[in-house]
Amino acid sequence: MSLLGAALLLALAAPGRDAAAARPAKPLLPIQPESDPLPSKGAAGCSFGGRFYSLEDTWHPDLGEPFGIMHCVVCYCEPQRNRRGKPTGKVSCKNMKQDCPTPACADAILLPGHCCRTCPKAAVSIPEKRPEALFDNLEYFQDKDDDLHRNYNDRAYLSSEDSSRDDSRTDFVALLTSGSEPWVPASSAVAKARFSLVRSSLIFSISYERLGQPSRVRFTEPEGTVLFEHPVQKGASPQDSMICGIWRNLQKSSIRLLKVDQLRVSLVTKSHPAGEIRGRIIKHRALFAETFSAILTSVDPTHLGMGGLAMLTLSDTENNLHFVLVTKGLLESADKKSPGLPLRVQILHQDRVLREVLANVSLQEPDFAEVLTGLSSQEMLWLAQGQLKISVEVEGRFRRQIAGHITVRMSCDTIQSVLCGGDALTPTRTGAVGSAKLMLHANGTLEYQVQVAGTGSEVIGITLETKPRRRSKRNVLYDMTHSYRDGMASGTWAQVSGREAHMLLQNELFLNVATTDFDEGELRGQISSLLYSGLLARHQELPIPLAGHFVSPPVRTGSAGHAWVSLDDHCHLHYGIVVAGLGRADDGTVSAHLHGFAELGELQESSSREHKRLLRGFYGTEAQGVVKDLDRELFRHLAQGTAFLQVSTKANPRGEIRGKVHIPNHCEAGGIRLTPEDPEDELPGNPISSNPEELKKDPNSCFFEGQHRAHGSRWAPDYDKKCSVCSCQKHTVICDPVLCQPLNCSQPVHLEDQCCPVCEEKKDILEGQRVEKAQDSSGGCYFDGDKTWRGAGTRWHPVVPPFGLIKCAVCTCKGATGEVHCEKVQCPRLTCSHPVRVSPSDCCKQCPASEQSPVALSDMMQADGPRACRFGRQWYMHNESWHPTVPPFGEMKCITCWCVSGETHCQRQECSPASCSKEGKTQDSCCSKCQVPEDLPEETPELLQEEAKNSWRR
């Protein structure tokens, strides 16, 4: 459980309360305050859980892992006015569970994502949220698993519909052409933009033709108000002439515009600062099945402002090609008096017409859909290789024509696969791993890289396959074994047909690794696409394999995974993790959530907890995030290649799968390099660089000595420029004196610009440093805590926001290297039985002492003894465990939290079905257990109770 999660629980406990008003003047507790996002300029609303909500918005609070979304709690941003009469918002939350109707059956179940229980039979009648069919006559092939051999493992298979769609994702498309406005220069450029809305993030992939290098992607309202701009950077996309990006944290108003087809997108170039091409973002039924596409541009270069796109797919049973045409500017230029416009659609290969369709369309229904039946094997090969061309022509007095080549669907997503023993056709538990990264190029060439590690015997086969129909009928599409050397199969497959490309993009293909001991397959994994995440390492590097074989001691597990890890220019660590085979029981059941956490640590067995970092707990098969405050020791191990990424589970808390991480770097603790200024201070939107007028409106800013200070800023106060340091923490100013360390010299010297005295032999060095510029790192050290430079050899107690002055740590500036070395103060061993702390600000306790008093909260930041944890409004001691309470939901009996040296960890308890005829849940338990019939003999209940206990999975 992260500290942010604890802050969210605190927010739920007191919705709408001003946290700044309740905070003490000088925090002594190890709580990182929640960094509330700043609302848009002039926007009124509510900040909750790291997000901004507009007035009258409602939502289910997301408490993070392992709690997840509280579906029985509804929060509301209630409009009100402050003392000055300005509109503002107040968060109020309500528990809906008491409003649930009583089920009509005794065996009611709780469906995922629901608050109230329903009867099992009623669950069948609930209409599932399915995408619309591409056309009414589009064929969907339903697999019949009756003839699948029972020994074959079918648990891992996800259909293209299951793996590519869920309730939290919605897809959109936009056709971009130059506008019809007379004041905007016309252009022949055309672009296709595909969008995926996942929660509050809009992920987009944009392909374009006849366009110079775009500088920005601009999102606007219908009236032209700019909502968001994404700068286009070279090298940030896996393909040329493609733009990849994410618009994060969309406001509710923007999501509403998106869902009613009122959001606009445009591409800005240097020659067209107002946007060269633009279009409206819309939902389209063809997006679900699309596996091929085409961008259509004007054949006549003098015909500007027109274009189109084609979305194509294959039938599941026959070689029938379905397509939908979306055009802009083509029909508008035709004779508008005609009720039906004659349209000619041709499929060509090297200017030779293969297929032709004639139809009449209207301006009211411009989209055109058709099916081309019975494609030959040669046409299917040309389809995958991008050698087919589609041409659309409006006949008549105003003849216009647009055309473009059909290619496989291109996107910014990553095609990958994790191969594990648990997903093998006959499941294995060897601790081995397979990791694959693939790329399907526009010419139909499939580039593959498959890593294999940890197998107990020799690899004898790596094959690309379809889902098997019978035990004796494994369908191998391509054998990669010839390219396998030293644990890696790498090469290209140039003869991919249209059917095989279609199945690949529909997540219907698998990779299988056979070994001497398992000739049918030791590892297997389904190939699927990961949505673009902004992690460039996914496009530039191979993933790091994660296997039980790499854990010390090795773990014989059927799970596996891989991860991408990188450091950016600010020394922030970005990671993305994919796992497979976790949470599988021996009887084939799949748990609803996957328990586990990922941590970064040293490879050495003697590594201490200080050099480990909890990244995040996660459910499902993916986890990703950013860590901004790694310590120096971890940076050193990353640079040396002695660090690892590890995923642990309830069954293997010391690690189930692990992989080695090697990232050369020159980073320092806290995520800074030895530069004069922190690069993040200059980033747009950083509150430290805000102007005075914006600071006045910021409720988290501080007013001190006649000046507004931004939240998080640090400065030397006017009343004491040398020996005091102040910081602003959410409307609260904290000022601490600079403490001087005792010197090991008889004649200390006081310098004019230094607070603390120095020894005589250091005087000349420090005076020479004053002459040099402060930016010269060779003359001292830059300390990120108070944003100041220290002279070589200087020792001081660090100031670490939001804690303030930390007396239990001493930092030293190493002048030769410019490094800041901080270490914990070592308290002396005391012989007395009841030591005390003379002053609350002292680090170490002293003797003698009277009878020890109860542990005070102020002791929790001291050096002696493990740190306690704060969760919500309660404090818990080291090794203490508890069930968290989440108002207004109540106690979470299925979740257990525990405190480990100041860090709170939480985990959800899993319940397995009780192996009995009748089960029930007591008021104080999480899992159902067998109930004892009333008419049984007296000695029977004890046996049933023991059986029920054994049926729980601990």
Q: How many CB atoms lie within 10 A of CB 84?
A: 6
Q: Tens digits of per-residue pLDDT, 322-336?
A: 999 999 888 775 555
Omega of the bond leading into 66 within 30 degrees of 0 (cis): yes
User: Which 8-state DSSP code applies to residue 428?
Assistant: -
Exposure string of 107-145, with b = 16+ CB inside 10 Å and e = fewer, is: ebeeeeeebbebeeeeeeeeeeeeeeebbeebeeeeeee
pTM: 0.58
Residue (of 862, 861, 804) closest to 835 by Cα position: 862
pLDDT band for position 926 (cuts 50, 70, 90): confident
Q: Tens digits of per-residue pLDDT, 6-15?
A: 433 433 343 3
Q: Tens digits of per-residue pLDDT, 36-90?
A: 344 444 567 888 776 778 777 788 887 766 667 777 888 888 888 776 767 788 8
Identity of residue 570: H
The whole-angstrom separation of Cα 600 and Cα 645 is: 5
Lowest model confidence (mean pLDDT) among 183-197, 471-485, 505-519, 770-784 = 770-784
Exposure string of 363-398, with b = 16+ CB inside 10 Å and e = fewer, is: eeebebbebbeebeeebbbbbbbbbbbbbbbbeeee
Q: Tens digits of per-residue pLDDT, 213-272?
A: 899 999 999 888 899 999 987 766 666 678 999 999 898 899 999 999 999 999 999 888
The whole-angstrom separation of Cα 794 and Cα 741 is: 9
Q: Tens digits of per-residue pLDDT, 339-358?
A: 678 889 999 999 999 999 98
Q: Beta partners for 930?
A: 919
pLDDT band for position 134 (cuts 50, 70, 90): very low
The whole-angstrom separation of Cα 452 and Cα 460 is: 12
Highest mean pLDDT among 355-369, 378-392, 620-634, 793-807: 378-392
Angle of helix 498-505 versus helix 377-384 axis, rounded to 10: 50
Q: Are 496 and 503 in contact (CB under 8 A)?
A: no
pLDDT at 494 over 70: yes
Q: Residue 644 belongs to what H/E stretch?
A: strand 643-648
* Tokens of residue 625, six digits: 């995030």
pLDDT at 851 over 50: no
Q: Beta partners for 405?
A: 389
pLDDT value of residue 802: 52
